């Protein structure tokens, strides 16, 4: 194993399932001790802890409701106490939400913003205070391509993801000279458990077909790919990367939406009479 994170201590939020779980496991594979956080999936978090311990790393799981700032702050203190300090923080926890704009309620709005951005903000405060004692640390905030491109019925969710990108930049320049690097990671389509719960009739075969048609790379992303990028951003290999949002989406946001078929030559002839050879 490549143990570039040997001796590091990481807290990964929302790591009982999906991308977060894989991130915690990848940190452990590369040498780090880890605190796993969950809000509902106790079984997934416990199995992640067991797997990390089998790798010879220290690990524990703690529960926190991210709609409650007091629980969020307690999670930070628990992680610091268990690990003896936190070198890397991966803010992965969040909830996805879609609703037509005119039907969004105040309670829905508050819940999504509280979980996706407020909790992340105040947890990071606790962890940064600890990092400052040693004068070093790395933070990776998980956002989404929804923060950089638009989709119908995602005005609330996209707003939180855009907020993460903006506050990542500002926090990064505030902390860089103190030895703490802050960056963000924006995944595109990565098939996780939530797809099967949220989309009626969703299956891997249909997902592969749609991804092959819609994503320039011809496939959706893998959890392991996002996990390795999160580790990279927190590693010394990324030591000169500060305040950036790394997009990993197979070319989704790079593709102009007006282009209907990007695989075949265009029949249009823009520039005729003005550009030689056209």
- For the stretch 117-141, pLDDT in tens is 999 999 999 999 999 999 999 999 9
12-21, 106-115, 215-224, 253-262, range with the lowest pLDDT: 253-262
Q: How many domains does the chain have?
A: 1
Radius of gyration of the chain (CA): 20
Residue 74 belongs to what domain range? 9-248
Does 162 reside within a domain?
yes
Q: What is the CB neighbour count within 10 angstroms for residue 169?
A: 17
Cross-strand bridge partners of residue 11: 35, 89
Domain for residue 267, yes or no?
A: no
- Enter the DSSP assignment of 39: S
pLDDT in tens, 187-214: 999 987 766 666 777 788 888 888 898 9
Q: Is 157 assigned a catalytic role?
A: yes
Determine, yes or no, domain membership for 66: yes
- Tell me if 5 sits within 8 A of 27, measured CB to CB: yes
CATH of the domain at 172: 3.40.50.720
Tell me, yes or no, whether 188 lies in a domain: yes
Catalytic residue among 38, 157, 167, 195: 157
pTM for the model stands at 0.93
Q: Is the dihedral of CA 123, 124, 126, 131 positive or negative?
A: positive
Do 160 and 268 contact (CB within 8 A), yes or no? no
Does residue 144 form part of some domain? Answer: yes
- Tokens 């990481």 identify what position? 10
Looking at the domain assignment, is residue 70 inside a domain?
A: yes
């Amino acid at each position: 194993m490549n143990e570039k994170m040997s001796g590091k201590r990481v807290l990964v939020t929302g790591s009982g399932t999906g991308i977060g779980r894989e991130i915690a496991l990848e940190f452990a594979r590369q040498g780090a001790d880890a605190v796993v956080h969950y809000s509902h999936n106790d079984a997934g978090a416990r199995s992640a802890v067991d797997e990390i311990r089998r790798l010879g790393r220290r690990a524990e799981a703690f529960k926190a409701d991210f709609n409650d700032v007091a629980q969020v702050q307690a999670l930070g203190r628990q992680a610091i106490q268990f690990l003896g300090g936190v070198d890397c923080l991966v803010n992965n926890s969040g909830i996805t939400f879609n609703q037509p704009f005119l039907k969004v309620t105040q309670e829905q709005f508050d819940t999504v913003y509280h979980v996706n951005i407020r909790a992340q903000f105040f947890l990071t405060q606790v962890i940064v205070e600890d990092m400052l004692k040693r004068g070093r640390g790395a933070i990776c905030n998980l956002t989404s391509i929804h923060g950089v491109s638009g989709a119908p019925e995602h005005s609330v969710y996209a707003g939180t993801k855009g907020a993460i990108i903006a506050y990542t930049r500002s926090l990064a320049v505030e902390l860089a000279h103190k030895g703490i690097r802050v960056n963000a990671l924006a995944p595109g389509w990565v098939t996780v458990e939530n797809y099967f719960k949220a989309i009626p009739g969703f299956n891997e075969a249909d997902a592969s077909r749609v991804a092959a048609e819609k994503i320039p790379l011809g496939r959706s992303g893998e959890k392991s790919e996002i996990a390795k990028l999160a580790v990279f951003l927190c590693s010394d290999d990324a030591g000169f990367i500060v305040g950036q949002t790394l997009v990993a989406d197979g070319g989704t946001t790079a593709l102009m939406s007006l282009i209907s078929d990007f695989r075949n030559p265009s029949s249009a002839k823009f520039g005729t009479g003005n550009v030689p050879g056209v």
